[in-house]
Amino acid sequence: MINAQDFKFVAFTSNCRDQDGVFLQKSVLLSIRELDEAADLWLKDVWDKMRQSISNYHKTRGGTPGWVSWKPHEWSKAKIPGRQKFVAWSGDVVAGFLFLRTEFYSEFDKSKQILYVENIATAPGNKRTNLWCRQLTHVGRALLAFAVLKSVEHGTSGLLGLHAADHEAYCWYTSLNQNQGGRLFHPEKTGVAAPQPHLAEHRPYFETTESGCIEFLEGYRHE
Dihedral angle sign, alpha carbons of residues 180, 183, 165, 4: negative
Please say whether the beta carbons of 150 and 160 come within 8 A: no
Residue 198's pLDDT band, with cuts at 50, 70 and 90, is low
Please say whether the beta carbons of 146 and 100 come within 8 A: no
pLDDT above 80 (res 125): yes
How large is the average pLDDT for residues 89-115?
A: 96
- Burial (0-12, 13-18, 19+ Cβ within 10 Å), 136: buried
Distance CA 208, CA 184 (A): 5
Distance CA 77, CA 83 (A): 11
Q: List the domains of the chain with CATH numbers.
A: 4-36+84-218 (3.40.630.30)
Please say whether the beta carbons of 156 and 112 come within 8 A: yes
Taking only the tens place, the pLDDT of each residue in 56-78 is 999 989 999 989 999 999 999 98
How large is the average pLDDT for residues 100-105?
A: 94
Taking only the tens place, the pLDDT of each residue in 164-181 is 988 999 999 999 999 999
pLDDT above 80 (res 197): no
Angle at 78 between CA 76 and CA 83, to 5 degrees: 75
Mean pLDDT, the chain, rounded, equals: 93
pLDDT above 80 (res 152): yes
pLDDT above 70 (res 14): yes
Neighbours of 73 (CB within 10 A): 18
Distance CA 94, CA 123 (A): 7
| Residue-level pLDDT at 15 | 78
From the list 221, 208, 149, the residue with the least C-alpha distance to 180 is 208
Q: How far is CA 207 from CA 138, 139, 190, 222, in A?
A: 20, 20, 12, 26
Distance CA 201, CA 173 (A): 18
pLDDT above 80 (res 16): no
From the list 150, 137, 162, the residue with the least C-alpha distance to 86 is 150
Residue 199's pLDDT band, with cuts at 50, 70 and 90, is low
| Residue-level pLDDT at 24 | 80
